[in-house]
């Protein structure tokens, strides 16, 4: 675990590079599978589910009996924990509702904006080495609060063709009953084009590996919207001597265990503190069930000593992390000046895991530097804003002449006529 000392700004881009695969190879694979699903629908999805997940299944859709059985197999203690998280997530997202905004811009000209739900929503829930039932909460709850009419959930099956009990229980708890045992690229393609058994949807939500991320981006070429580019998980911690080394190490490892392509970064004004964190990581790694995955991700980690807070802040904004933990003597400086981050966790007692599960904020966040332009998932992600206007006779008399002049100046005579014909009748 090498420490980088006060790196020159010229090399920031290279030292902050994400551990991504060759994008050309990924795009080639995604394009081939999309083309196959577009042409052959369910047959292609079945083929790729057998190839990638090792599951041979006649029906992709989860039955009511499967959901009931899965719910009965989840421990009551875990059910209570999920319900606690659901309550907090509901509170936070319910509070994001906004009222109708109405303004009379000129006497007789009333304009307003209202939000309407997106009708058809697709939720992608990663499975694989860690079935993320918490992501069901993060996506299904705001979709339901927003009033989305049709909600479809896709998640990969295991080799026996089954979905994790916790995912099915959580989906049932959130009122989701259209669940497909389909994962990866083929799931995104299925929701993009629709098949005999899978509906075509309007917007896809959910994190995934690099293949899923590229698949979502390709979906936009076929008229399907996406929440954001959300690939492998990442965390940056800025901490100094006031922080607890054991806490910081545990936070870094919590993200490292997501997958081998995850990345964690520590920025600190103390070389001694960095060394203590590295020692803690070595100790805590020994007890992790996912040690091999975490070790591989840690090999992509960065430990950066930055003497000046101003430089540290600039570096963080340049990296634009998915998750940012601030544990310094001067937390307010970083909180007040951070520009690019998906979600921020402040102080020694705010682990990133809280946001992943139960504090109430959403854990579906932009990665790979996209937090410089994208927000994390929120209630507005499931709605669109529609503007309305109602103009009286007097209102048209007030703004009509300006419209006529502007339309004529742009050479759009029909635009001018649409106003002139009305003004003539009014006068």
Residues 223, 236, single domain; the answer is no
- Enter the pTM of the model: 0.94
What angle do the packed helices 42-53 and 184-193 form, to 10 degrees?
170
Which residue carries 């340049």 as its tokens?
Answer: 318
pLDDT > 70? residue 129: no
Pairing of strands 109-117, 101-106: antiparallel
Say which range, 13-17, 29-33, 138-142, 236-240, has the weakest mean pLDDT: 13-17
Residues annotated in a binding site for substrate: 233, 255, 258, 323, 356, 410, 415
Tokens of 307: 């003497």
Across 395-420, average pLDDT: 98
pLDDT at residue 147 in the model: 98
Which residue carries 């979905």 as its tokens?
Answer: 163
Residue 243, domain extent: 3-18+232-360
Across 249-257, average pLDDT: 96
Residues annotated in a binding site for Zn(2+): 255, 258, 356, 415
Total number of domains constituting the chain: 3
Across 241-247, average pLDDT: 97
Residues annotated in a binding site: 124, 186, 209, 233, 255, 258, 323, 356, 410, 415
Task: Identify the domain boundary among 180, 208, 227.
Answer: 227
Residues 177, 306, single domain; the answer is no
Percent of all residues in the chain with a pLDDT value above 90, rounded to a whole number:
91
Catalytic one among 322, 363, 404, 408? 322
pLDDT > 80? residue 1: no
Residues 336, 218, single domain; the answer is no
Residues 335, 417, single domain; the answer is no
Residues 245, 141, single domain; the answer is no
Residues annotated in a binding site for NAD(+): 124, 186, 209
Tokens of 282: 């070595």
> CB-based burial of residue 159 (10 Å sphere; 0-12 exposed, 13-18 middle, 19+ buried)?
exposed
pLDDT at residue 273 in the model: 98
Residue 323 a catalytic site member: yes
- The tens digit of pLDDT for each residue in 56-108 reads 988 999 999 999 999 999 999 999 999 999 999 999 999 999 999 999 999 99
3-state SS, 72-97, equals: HHCCHHHHHHHHHHHHHHHHHHHCCC
Residues 46, 91, single domain; the answer is yes
- The tens digit of pLDDT for each residue in 130-176 reads 789 999 999 999 999 999 999 999 999 999 999 999 999 999 999 99
Tokens of 191: 């929701």
Residues 75, 138, single domain; the answer is yes
Catalytic one among 166, 280, 323, 363? 323
Residues 216, 298, single domain; the answer is no
Is 352 among the domain residues? Answer: yes
Residue 40 a catalytic site member: no
Task: Sort residue 184 into left (φ over 0), alpha (ψ -120 to 50) or beta.
Answer: left
Q: What's the CATH code of the domain at 330? A: 3.40.50.1980
pLDDT > 80? residue 310: yes
Residues 178, 41, single domain; the answer is yes
Across 181-189, average pLDDT: 97
């Amino acid at each position: 675990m090498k420490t980088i000392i006060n790196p020159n700004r010229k090399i920031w881009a290279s030292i902050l590079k994400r551990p991504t695969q060759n994008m050309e190879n990924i795009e080639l694979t995604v394009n081939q599978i999309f083309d196959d699903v577009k042409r052959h629908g369910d047959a292609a999805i079945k083929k790729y589910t057998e190839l990638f997940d090792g599951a041979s299944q006649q029906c992709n859709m989860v039955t009511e009996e499967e959901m009931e059985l899965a719910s009965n197999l989840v421990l009551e203690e875990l059910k209570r924990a999920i319900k606690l998280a659901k309550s907090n997530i509901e509170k936070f997202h319910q509070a994001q509702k906004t009222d109708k905004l109405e303004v009379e811009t000129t006497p007789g000209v009333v304009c307003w904006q209202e939000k309407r739900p997106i009708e058809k929503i697709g939720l992608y829930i990663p499975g694989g080495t860690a079935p993320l039932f918490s992501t069901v909460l993060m996506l299904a709850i705001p979709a339901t609060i927003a009033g989305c009419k049709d909600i479809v959930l896709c998640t990969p099956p295991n080799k026996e063709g089954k979905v994790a009990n916790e995912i099915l229980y959580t989906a049932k708890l959130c009122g989701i009953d259209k669940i497909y045992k389909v994962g990866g690229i083929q799931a995104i393609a299925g929701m993009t084009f629709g098949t005999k058994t899978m509906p075509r949807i309007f917007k896809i939500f959910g994190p995934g590996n690099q293949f899923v991320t590229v698949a979502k981006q390709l979906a936009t070429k076929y008229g399907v919207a996406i929440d954001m580019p959300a690939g492998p998980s990442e965390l940056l911690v800025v901490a100094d001597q006031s922080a607890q080394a054991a806490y910081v190490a545990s936070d870094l490892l919590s993200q490292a265990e997501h997958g081998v392509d995850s990345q964690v970064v520590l920025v600190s004004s103390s070389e001694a503190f960095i060394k203590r964190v590295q020692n803690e990581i070595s100790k805590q790694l020994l007890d992790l069930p996912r040690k091999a995955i975490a070790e591989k991700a840690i090999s992509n980690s960065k430990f950066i000593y930055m003497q000046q807070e101003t430089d540290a802040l600039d570096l963080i904004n340049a990296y634009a992390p998915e998750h940012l933990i601030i544990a310094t003597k001067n937390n307010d400086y970083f909180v007040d000046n951070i520009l690019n981050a998906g979600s921020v966790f402040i102080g020694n007692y705010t682990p990133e895991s809280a946001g992943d599960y139960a504090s109430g904020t959403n854990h579906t966040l932009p990665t790979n530097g996209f937090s410089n332009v994208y927000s994390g998932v929120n209630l507005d992600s499931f709605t669109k804003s529609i503007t309305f206007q109602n103009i009286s006779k007097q209102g048209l008399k007030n703004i009509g002449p300006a419209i006529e002049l502007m339309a004529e100046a742009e050479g759009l005579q029909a635009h001018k006529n649409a106003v002139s014909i009305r003004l003539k009748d009014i006068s």
